[in-house]
Structure 1
Amino acid sequence: MRTAVFALVALAVLGLLGLVHRWLWIRLVRDTTAPRGLPRRIGTASAIALPLLSVAALTAGRAGVPFPLQQAVSWPGFLWLAVLLYLTLTMLVAEPIRALLLRRLAHRSPSRVADEAPGDVRQDGAGTAATATAVAPPVVPVAPAEPAAPCAQELTRRRFVARTLGGAAAAVALGTVANGAYGTHGVLRGPGVRRVRVPLAKLPRAAHGFRIAVVSDVHLGPILGRAHTQRIVDTVNRTQPDLIAIVGDLVDGDVQDLGRAAEPLRRLTARHGTYFVTGNHEYFSGARQWVDHVRELGLNPLENARRALPYFDLAGVNDIAGESEGQGPDFGAALGDRDRTRAAVLLAHQPVVIHDAVRHGVDLQLSGHTHGGQLWPGNYLAELANPTVEGLERYGDTQLWVSRGAGAWGPPVRVGAPSDITVVELASHQA
C-alpha cells in the first residue's frame, strides 16, 4: 500500500514538473526566440536536460548510483530545482503584466485588412464620383478568411515584451538563489550562532547558565561534505558549550561514502559530552551503521535512552521514521521510570512528538527537522505538518525549541530561513 502511494505521488510530481517546464519553455524559449535558430535549439535542449538532471539528483542516492556520479548530478540538478521555484513564482507574477502589455500593443497595431465597398466606385469626367451601374456578378460562397498573421513589427514588439519579462524573471531567480546573505553562499559558508535563554522551573541553581549547543539537519551528502562538517565543528567549539546535542538528519548516504566527511565530528569538545539521536534521513541511509559509526567518533547515541547528568536528566528518542523498522520512539523506555522532581531535557528530531513529551513531563524538547522552511514560501508548507517551524514555544509545562538546522537538504540554498547552530542557555528560577 505504501509503495503504491509513493508511486502515485512520484507520478504526480513528475507530471507537474513536466507541465511547469513546458510552460516555461513557451514563455522563455518559444516566445523569445526565432524558429529554427540556435538560441531556440539551446533553450529547448536545456528545457529537456535540466528536469532530467533534477530527477537524477533526487533519485540517485536511493538507486545505489556510485557516489562520484551522485555528486556530478546533484550540483546542477538540485540548484536547478531552487532556480525553478523562484523562476516559476516570478513568471506567475509577470503573467498578468505580459497580458496587459500585449493587449495594449494589439490596440495600437494598425488595421491590416481594409474593408471593401459592395460596388465599384469610379470618377466621371468632371471629377465627380458615380456608382457603377453594371450588374453585380453572381455571389460565390467564400470560406471565412483565416486571421492574418501578425506583421513583422508586432512580432518584434511581442518578442521584446517576452524577452524583457523573461530576463527580469531569470535575474530575480538567479539573484535569489545566489544571494550572499542566504542563498547558496549563505549555506556554503556555514551556519551562524543563535542564542536563546530558557528558564526551567526544576533546574537547580548550580546549573544556572548551563549551555547546550544544538546541531540539527547537517545533511552531509553529495554536496555538503567534510569542509562543511569542519566549519560546524569549529563554530560549535568556539561557543564553549557544556553539552552538544546533535538532533538528527546528520547524513544522506552510507558510511562508506560519507565516513570521511563525518570525521571532523571527532573533534567536538564539551565538558559533558556530545549526544546524538536519529532523524528520518538516518533511516533512509541505514540508521544502524550510523549509530555505530558516530559512537566510534566519540558521540553518545541515545536510542530511546536517558542519562542522569549532575543537574538534570537528558533523554533521547529515535525518530518516528524508525517505526517501519521496529525502531521508532519509545517514550516509556526513555522517560517512564525517571524521578519527575528533576528537570528533563529531551532530544527528538521531529517537533511533532511534543505531545508525547508533555505527557511524560519533559521540561524542554530540542528538535530540528523543519529547516525553518528552508526555501520561502516553504515555511507555510512546514506549518501544515509541524506544531512549531522554528524558535521557542510552550506547550503546557513543556517548552519546545526548533532549530532551523546547520545544513540544507536538496538544493544547498536557503531563502528566508538562514542555517543556525543554537546555544540554549538554561536558567534556574532559583538564581
Structure 2
Amino acid sequence: MEKMIVKGQQKLSGEVTIGGAKNSTVALIPAAILADTPVKFDSVPDILDVHNLMLILKAMNVDSTYRRGELLVDPTKIKSVPLPGGAIRSLRASYYFMGALLGKFGEAIVGFPGGDNIGPRPIDQHIKGFKALGAHVEEKENTVHITTGPEGLHGARIFFDLVSVGATINVLLAAVKAKGLTIMENVAREPEIVDLATFLNNMGAHIRGAGTNEIRVQGVDSLRSKNVHTIIPDRIEAGTYLSFAAANGNGVLVKNVITEHLDPFLSKLEEMGVRMEIDEDEIYVPGGDVLSPVNIKTAPFPGFATDLQQPITPLLMKARGSSTIIDTLYPERTKHIPEMQRMGAKISSKDGIITVGHSIDLSGTVVEAGEIRAGVSLVGLALMAKGTTVINKADNILRGYDRIVEKFRGLSVDLEVINESESLNH
C-alpha cells in the first residue's frame, strides 16, 4: 500500500503538460489485440492501470513494452485463454477484453470486473449487445463465459437502454469484425470513444458516427496497424489541475489540452468568476479570484463529467457561499466527503445532493483515498490546509494520474509517496 504525504499551504505555480487520456488508454490496449500486426501507441500515461493491462496481455501470450510514453503491443502470437479473475477484479476497464476477445476468437471467459467502488455499474447493457450480435452468454459465480456458434458474430441493430461508455466500447469492439452491418443507437459520445474509433478505422475498420448518438459498423475480416496512434489528452486530468490552479494557484499554465472536451467544465469555472486565458491547446489560470458559488449537475458527455465532480470540490470551498452538486450518473460517488469533513471542510450529502460550503479553517490529518477521483480531490484540499496530510491507499490515485509527483514538482509543489512495505523493511 502506498501513502501520499502532502504539506499544506503550498501554492501551485508554473506549468504542467497533460498526458494521454486514461479512459482512452484502457480501451485502446484491449482493442490492440484485434490487430493482425504489432501496434504502437504514443502519449500513453504512466499509470498503474496500464501496467496491469500489460500483465493481462502477458497472460494471453501478447508481448508488450512500455517506455517513456510509448507502448508497443504485439498480438501476433496471442492465445485464447480464460482471463485471470484477480487482475480483472483489480482493474475495472479490463472488461473491455470481453468485446475484444469475442471479436477476435468468438469466445471470451472473463472474471467479473472490479475497479473503483463508486456504486453499482452493471454490465447488463454489454451482455444485451453481445447477445444481439449472436453470442451466447453464461454467468457462473464470478465469471462471464461468452461464446458464438460456428457462424460467428453477425451485424445487428442494438438500442441501449441507457447511455453507457463501457457498453458502447465493448459492443463496438465485438462488432468491428462481425459479419455485416451493426447499428448501435443511444450510444455514449465521449471523446475517448471517438479516439478508439479513429484507431480502429486507421487499421481498416469501417466505423461511422462515433461522437454522435448512433454508431454504424460495417464488419471487416482483418485489421492491420500502419502508423503510431497518439492518444488524446486526458480531459479529466486537465480539469483536475485547472480546478486546483483556480483554487490555490499563483499563475499556472496547463498544456496539451483539447479545450472543446472541457466546455461544460470551463463554463462552470467562468460562472464562478475564474479568470482564464484559453489558447488553442493550453489554458493559463492567474489565480487569486473572488469566487461565486455554483450548482453542478453531472451528465453524460457533452455534459459536466462525473469524473470532475470530486476534483472541483476544493475550488467550490473557496466560493463565498454554498454550492451544490448532483451526480446523476453515480449518486454514491461520495467517498471523499467524510475524509474532507475530518479536515474541517464544510461538505455534506443528503438525498443525492452534495452541498459544499465556504471552508477556511482546514487542517491536515490522516485520510484515505477511497477511489481515484476522491483521492485526488483530497490532494487539492491538503494543499490548501494547514499542516501535513497523510493520504492512505494512495495507489488509487496513482492508478489514474500520470506521474503525479513529478507533475506537481513542476508546479512548485512537494508531494511524497511512500510505499508501506518499503518503510516497514527499513
Give yes or no for TM over 0.5.
no
Which is richer in helix? 1
TM-score, normalisation: structure 2: 0.26
